[in-house]
Copies of this chain bind each other. A is one copy, B any other.
Amino acid sequence: MTENLTTTVSSKSQTVEISRNLPTVIIGERINPTGRKKLQAALEENNFTIVRQDALDQVAAGATILDVNAGIPDGDEPVLLKEAVRIVMEATDVPLCIDTADPDALSAALSIYEGKALVNSVNGEERSLGEMLPLVKEYGAAVIGLCMDDDGIPESPEKRLTVAAKIIERASKLGIGPEDIVIDPLVLTMGADHNAGRITLETTELVVKEFGVNITMGASNVSFGLPDRMHINAAFMAMAIHAGLTCPITNPLVTELTTAVLAADLAMGRDEWGTRWIEAFRSREKSD
């Protein structure tokens, strides 16, 4: 087993460490107009009220990093993303995960970001590696690497590992160390392929064993198209944490998911005396 690496990200006033020796870090996923018509409409009118409220709500619910995505059809993404990042920096103290596939938008957002951001994301495509990684290096950020490349998402864990290896190698050539790479093994839905969850879990284990890097994923996708998604998501989250997941991108407002994360941390010995578990239980009791 390779040594577990620590990824450090920061805002102006807060530093967050991601590591398998520490409790799981929740990256709040809500600030993303994909599939959220109200947020999309607001961004079209340069209205960032929802963005601000989403930031506050997610931090209150336990998110320790916030993902910020401002991609809308025909939107001026560099302008929108930069403004969204500015609004969220004003509203909260947590480090941000800047979510775009557009190098111009990334550059605009990083240019005003105060601290060490997490960039979401690069993948194994030549274009992504060539255009995005230099910006990650220039601004001293950390970066999420998706296990897909010009040929799409590989089916087997071994091939996804190969893509992760390519991203880590290319980053290394630019002077970005593996401690600043967070790999996303990618989660397809078991509603379409009942092996999808297994493939993600196995990829996670392979990548962790080989490189010791931190792991993120948007775990809820695994249950798309199946009934009783919440119980699948909770079990899969716990299993993914056991496999090596350290910073899921998820909705911290869904109590069942944050509870599964806390239970998994407890079972991994990362909750001394069960303090976090007991505190969260008391907080849930109060809000009932």
Contact = CB atoms under 8 A, between A and B. Distances in A.
Interface of A: 190-191, 194-195, 197-199, 201, 222, 226-228, 231-232, 234-236, 238-239, 241-243, 259-260, 263-264, 266-269, 271-274, 277-278, 281-282, 284
Given A234-B235, A259-B231, A263-B235, A242 B201 contact: yes
Number of copies of this chain that the complex holds? 2
Highest count of chain B CB atoms <10 Å: which of A239, A260, A264, A271 = A239
A267 B239 contact: yes
A11 to B, nearest CB: 30
Given A266-B194, A274-B194, A281 B228 contact: yes
A263 B194 contact: no
B263 A198 contact: no
B190 A267 contact: yes
A201 to B, nearest CB: 7
Contacts of A239: 238-239, 241-242, 264, 267
B197 A267 contact: yes
A235 B234 CA distance: 7
A277 B235 contact: no
Contacts of A226: 266, 274, 277-278
A282 B284 CA distance: 29
B235 A269 contact: no
